[in-house]
Amino acid sequence: MIYTPYAELYHHESVSRGKDDDPVKAARAKREADYMRRRWGSVIERDPFYNPNLNYSRADFRLGRLPRIGFPWIE
């Protein structure tokens, strides 16, 4: 095993796959996302590092329509 604290790693989202810009690729991407939600949905919903007020159904990090936690100043 080799260890170095100086490594810089880069992740280029879907560079090898290309964009999901045709019906076949879009369908594949939807199947993959659906599988992840089925398999890990209960874990994702309890992710302690994800802001509970953000939208869980879209990947754009918009605020959800309904807050998942209450406001501390409102009882």
- Consecutive H or E run containing 36: helix 23-44
Provide the residue ranges of all domains of the chain, joining segments of one domain with +: 19-70
Query: For residue 9, what are the CA distances in angstroms to 5, 6, 55, 56?
Result: 11, 10, 28, 27
pLDDT tens-digit series, residues 15-36: 777 888 889 988 998 999 899 9
Given a cut of 90, is residue 38 above it in pLDDT? yes
Percent of the chain whose pLDDT exceeds 90: 15
Highest mean pLDDT among 12-16, 32-36, 68-72: 32-36
Residue-level pLDDT at 68:
72
Give the global pTM.
0.54
